[in-house]
Amino acid sequence: MNEVYKLHSQLIKSGLHHDPLSLRRLLFLACSASGSASYASSLLLSSQSPDTVSWNTVIRFLSHSAPSRSVSLFYHMRSNSISLDHFTFPFVLKSCSHLHLDRRDLHSLILKLGFDSDVYVQNSLISFYGSCGFLDFALKIFEEMPQRDLVSWSSMISCLVNNGFAFQALNTFRQMQVDGNVKPDEVTVVKVISAVSRLGALELGRWVHTFVRRNGLRITVKLGTALIDMYSRSPNVSMPLAPGEGVEGVQEEGIVKGESMTDF
């Protein structure tokens, strides 16, 4: 924080502490420093006419460390008629998701301002509705999207798994393969494995493990843990490792079992 205080002092002395570009730089530095949530908020609110980028910077920062404060800051921004953009909403929706806060009025505002066609906003709405248990709304947004990216698919699969619809999550993953425009990553596969584990469908789990190998996905700690958990749910079945396969770069030798992998 000393570096932040030093820069702030220099800007005040030079008369640039209300300059939009200088303020952005200071806020970014404050948000990057440890334990600076209160300072960043106070700095923003005490500044003269901070722009949208400055507000977004702090709202995004607080969405991780203090989501309730992030939401409050958004409504403060709104009450002061500060312009909102397509970055503002994903940050505040993320905060609402963390808090499981039902703020469907945000969706109405998004529609009013014309940001509903932005894929970044759409993905955030899917996660928001899923976290609040409004799965029908999440599905509607997902199904009506003209173009879906990796986050769209992963968010929808995650929503289905988290709300107890494991089979539907697997069907969505299959639909993703049929669509063919986007390739799953490790994050997507972790959620798919979670669905498999909930169903106790080890054969499908083996198929997913083979999918990981064939597509060269890195066995991260989360992915490795998910695979181990899946195999541990079946008595007397250990996680088979191919030669050179391991978790997070740890090379291990294992036995590749010869069972046939069934598709969905």
Provide block-wise average pLDDT over 10 residues at a time, the chain (264 residues). 73 76 84 75 87 94 92 94 95 94 94 96 98 96 96 98 96 94 94 93 90 92 92 67 49 34 36
Per-residue pLDDT at 250: 39
Q: Does residue 127 sit in the same domain as residue 177?
A: no
Q: How many domains does the chain have?
A: 3
Residue 41 lies in a domain: no
CA angle, 61 then 67 then 70, to 5°: 65
Q: Among candidates 169, 168, 132, 134, which has minimal Cα distance to 154?
A: 169
Is 38:4 a contact under the CB 8 Å cutoff? no
Per-residue pLDDT at 96: 95
Per-residue pLDDT at 29: 81
Per-residue pLDDT at 243: 41
**Residue 107: C-alpha distances to residues 42, 117, 121 (Å):** 28, 12, 10
Residue 222 lies in a domain: yes
d(CA 209, CA 188): 13
Domain boundary (116, 132, 147) is at: 147
Q: Does residue 157 sit in the same domain as residue 206?
A: yes
Per-residue pLDDT at 23: 84
d(CA 192, CA 197): 9
Domain that holds residue 80: 53-147
Q: Provide the token pair at 23.
A: 């303020």
Q: Does residue 172 sit in the same domain as residue 201?
A: yes
Q: Does residue 234 sit in the same domain as residue 132?
A: no
Residue 46 lies in a domain: no
Q: Supply the pTM of this predicted model.
A: 0.83
Q: What one-letter code names the amino acid at 26?
A: L
